[in-house]
Chain A
Amino acid sequence: MPFWIPLGVAALLVLAIYLIRPTAQALPVASTVLWRRLLAARKRRRDRLRWLLSLLLATAVAGLLSVAASRAPWLQPGGGDPIALAFDPSPTMRASLPNGGPSRIELATAEARRIVAEAEAGSRFTVNADPTPLTSAEVLALLSGTPETLSNAADTEPAIPTARRVHVFTDGIGPFTPIIDPGTETRTVSVLVPARNAGIVRFATRPPATRAAGPEALLEILATDPAGGQVPVELTVADSETIRIRRQLELQPGDRFTALIDLGSFAPGAVTARIETPGDVFPLDDRAGLIDAHAANTRTAAFSPAHRVRAPTDPWRVVVIARSPGSFAGSAAALALEADASVDVAAVRAATRADDPPPEDPLPAADIATFHRTAPAIPPAMPALYLDPPQAVAAGGLSPAAEAPLSPRRIDRIQASHPLLAGVSLLDLPVVLAARELDPRCTALASAGDRTAIAACDPASASGPRSLTIAFDLDHSSLAQRPDLAALFQNAATWLTETPATSDLITDTGLRNAVNLQADWATRINDSTLEPVPADRLGDLDGPNRRPWSWRTLALAGLLFASFEAITFFRGLTL
């Protein structure tokens, strides 16, 4: 509303007040001496009352100033427990609006800023699981920063600090269940905005149905568009050498595009499918990799370790499958394993291919199979430790970042509470990483940017074996010179060989969903139980930061104006 409209209305009201104000009759009297004496007597009585009132008011003001100066927390309306702001960390929060609009996390921060701006004076705020209370200015500064930093916590069950009120900002997609004290007032703020998206929802190999020349891949693409229009998609499928397939697709929203790709002519190695969609708002599912599809029947299938039953007092028996025995000997991993008295390296064998002759002596029974710079095509049926695996690490739960160069990074995110990292300090550790994407069954224990450095895979059932992948080169890491590596191996031996309890099962996380190529991302991105954000809120992201006037301010101004008008109106009416 333009400001001149209420101003004009106020002016009209003033004019009306002056017009309807009753006029006084003129009455000649002999003298006004007695009247003035009467008014003076009345004024004296009123002055005494005013003096008493002013004394009371002055006393009250002095008392309030004293209390305010003492900063008594119980007097502050926003005192007591803080207000908690919990942001859904799932990747869908980074989905942006159609036509390049703000992302859901930006909507969430805008709503959070609005809540902070309208909170009681003196309120304190906490953000996600961080228990540090922040002032309004501090939390507004935090919320005005990069919104993505708020949703990178990768913890879908953050323990929210004790708060008098919790605001949960989520799009309702994927599990996000913050742990909140029972009885705490909780408000869920929906930031769901239907978004345009196309994604690869399935990319899997299977043996050829009709011929034995090679495998074939099943590719499924799903598109969605809240506007209901056609979604143009460019599909490229490449092997490790070049792009083999390039197709232009026009998908209807909700349609599932399915293609069966013959991989017989593909070069051995990784196979990558990629789609490009104009206006795609959620580019996390536009690429899928098949792990060494050709090697599925060429890699060794002869690795059949025996999983022994270990007595609690026995050392852990480890068999090592290395790219070559010479490459393992003298490596940081070998030195660490040999120095660990609780670990018995029973055998070190070179990796074999399917067409290699079988080894003369069978592998001894072991507790843990360790793969050094190699990986089996089929995961072993026993706990496995993958050390610096090559790009094709299907068994280790990691897919290669085929198009990303190897570059030194620093570990910036760890799951410090995981038992594998007890006593291990990894933060800020420089690493050279190749692996990037994480199998949905696995948990990233340490990450450097968008790449996973250490992944722990826990089977869904208690019967399956666990595996641990250290995806960076230990020989070129300072970790090898620190006791943390021995502690990591100790933790790994313990964790890999113990029977997982139900409570230890890794729960679903947003990051896991982000790379779950088998999930219907294209539909789930809009699949929520929450109501979408009203359209009129989308254009008011900066509302709380620029309020020229509010109804409260206007009401206060009106009250002051009415008081002033009353004083002037009754000026002279002293009886």
Chain B
Amino acid sequence: MADHSVFAFEPAFLARLERLRLLTRRVPAGGFKGEHRASHLGSGLEFADYRPYVEGDDVRHLDWRAYLRFDRLLLRMFEEHGDLAVYILLDCSHSMAPTPGPGGRRKFDAARRIAAALTYIALATLDRVTLAPYSGHVHQVLGPLHGSRQVWRALDYLANLDTGGETHLDRTVREVFAAGRRRGLVIVISDLLSDTTEGGLDLLLPLRHDVAVIQVTDHRDLEAPLDRDTTLVDSETGDSLRIHGAPNLLHRLEREADAHREEIRARCTARGWSFIHAPVEASFEKLALGALRRGLLSRGR
């Protein structure tokens, strides 16, 4: 039995989550019925518009009242609603949990909780969720899951994940979407501390998915005792980097982290993607109901 303590959401919090849904543009055609407005008009219940009748149209959708008034055959168009394909790419590389023990897994735990919350929301709104944890390559993909009954399966899966290896988002994107998956919403949850992040995000662009990038950060990554010469050892690659203690070095590192984040945010914004910064120091509820909602979620019901 998996340990679900990391996902110990309060019932009130869950209730608030249930009132949210993932924010996306129109859902492409080809899916199942769902709660997301489709990118095309079809046979839904909500009236959308008129258009002239052409041969082959379903005569059941002719508006006879309009015919009587305008002496023209007009066809009533309805909003189509479908489900959303949600792909959650969860970074499970070693940098997400660089040190052993519960304290060293704060980023990974936070990332899993975000993934769990988004999965919960997606399944509650009849979306199809695919969980793709990755590091150097894609681990076993779970999904697509459909229906709220799959929540426990997803949580079990997330709870059993572990960290290790290097981060290769580019390789992950190729592997996950090599089979021509349906267009949908791709959510990348990672600390983005990899040289392959930008390359991987670039690969998503031609696939025309909606993309949301959630960067999980831990301020402890920016802390190091630099009172003497230090050789930094990368937890993922094992590469060493020798530095010499200098005044304000950590402060400059913090500014560099901010600059790095803003670069990725600017890149996402330019592509119409969402970017959410999720520091582990902030409370998860505040994150989910604040930043996530502003960038990724909307009130659904």
A contact residues vs B (CB 8 Å cutoff): 22-39, 41, 572-575
Stretch in contact with the other chain, from B77-85, B115-123, B231-239, B288-296: B231-239
How many Å lie between the Cα of A573 and that of B218 in the bound state?
Answer: 27
| Cβ contact within 8 Å between B231 and A27 | yes
How many Å lie between the Cα of A37 and that of B232 in the bound state?
Answer: 14
How many Å lie between the Cα of A301 and that of B49 in the bound state?
Answer: 165
Contacts A22-B229, A24-B228, A36-B241 hold; do A29 and B253 have CB atoms under 8 A apart?
no
| Cβ contact within 8 Å between A35 and B98 | no
| Cβ contact within 8 Å between A572 and B232 | no
Is B162 positioned at the interface, with any CB of A under 8 Å from its CB?
no
| Cβ contact within 8 Å between B244 and A573 | yes
**CB closest chain-A residue, reference B218:** A30
Min CB distance A20 to B, Å, is 13
How many Å lie between the Cα of A510 and that of B191 in the bound state?
Answer: 99
Is B61 positioned at the interface, with any CB of A under 8 Å from its CB?
no
Q: Which chain B residues in 205-231 approach chain A with CB under 8 Å?
A: 218, 221-222, 224-225, 228-231
Contacts A35-B241, A572-B242 hold; do A30 and B193 have CB atoms under 8 A apart?
yes
How many Å lie between the Cα of A24 and that of B244 in the bound state?
Answer: 9
Residues of B within 8 Å of A34, CB to CB, are 193, 221-222, 253, 256-257, 260
Min CB distance B258 to A, Å, is 10
Q: Which of B99, B236, B244 contacts A31 (CB 8 A)?
A: B236
| Cβ contact within 8 Å between A41 and B256 | yes
| Cβ contact within 8 Å between A29 and B229 | no
| Cβ contact within 8 Å between A35 and B253 | yes
| Cβ contact within 8 Å between B235 and A25 | no
How many Å lie between the Cα of A574 and that of B252 in the bound state?
Answer: 14
How many Å lie between the Cα of A29 and that of B191 in the bound state?
Answer: 13
Main SS class of interface, B: mixed
Give the A-B contact count at a CB cut-off of 8 A: 96
Is B39 positioned at the interface, with any CB of A under 8 Å from its CB?
no
**Top 3 closest A-B pairs, CB basis?**
A31-B193, A24-B229, A30-B98
**CB closest chain-B residue, reference A28:** B233
List 7 A-B residue pairs with CB atoms under 8 Å apart, sorted by A's residue number.
A25-B230, A31-B95, A31-B236, A33-B195, A33-B260, A34-B221, A41-B256
How many Å lie between the Cα of A31 and that of B165 in the bound state?
Answer: 12
Contacts A30-B235, A35-B253, A37-B260 hold; do A575 and B246 have CB atoms under 8 A apart?
yes
**CB closest chain-B residue, reference A42:** B252
Residues of B within 8 Å of A33, CB to CB, are 193-195, 260
| Cβ contact within 8 Å between A29 and B232 | yes
**CB closest chain-A residue, reference B221:** A30
* Known contacts A30-B107, A33-B260, then 7 further A-B pairs from the complex at CB < 8 Å, ordered by chain A residue: A24-B230, A27-B230, A31-B194, A31-B221, A35-B253, A575-B246, A575-B249
Contacts A24-B229, A38-B252, A575-B246 hold; do A31 and B234 have CB atoms under 8 A apart?
yes
Q: Mark B80-109, 1 if CB is under 8 A from A, else 0.
A: 000000000000001110110000000100
Residues of A within 8 Å of B242, CB to CB, are 24, 572-573
| Cβ contact within 8 Å between B228 and A25 | yes
How many Å lie between the Cα of A29 and that of B243 in the bound state?
Answer: 13
Residues of A within 8 Å of B195, CB to CB, are 33
**CB closest chain-A residue, reference B166:** A31
Residues of A within 8 Å of B193, CB to CB, are 30-31, 33-34
How many Å lie between the Cα of A24 and that of B228 in the bound state?
Answer: 7
Q: Which of B96, B107, B232, B244 contacts A27 (CB 8 A)?
A: B232
Is B43 positioned at the interface, with any CB of A under 8 Å from its CB?
no
How many Å lie between the Cα of A27 and that of B227 in the bound state?
Answer: 12
How many Å lie between the Cα of A462 and that of B249 in the bound state?
Answer: 97
**CB closest chain-A residue, reference B228:** A25
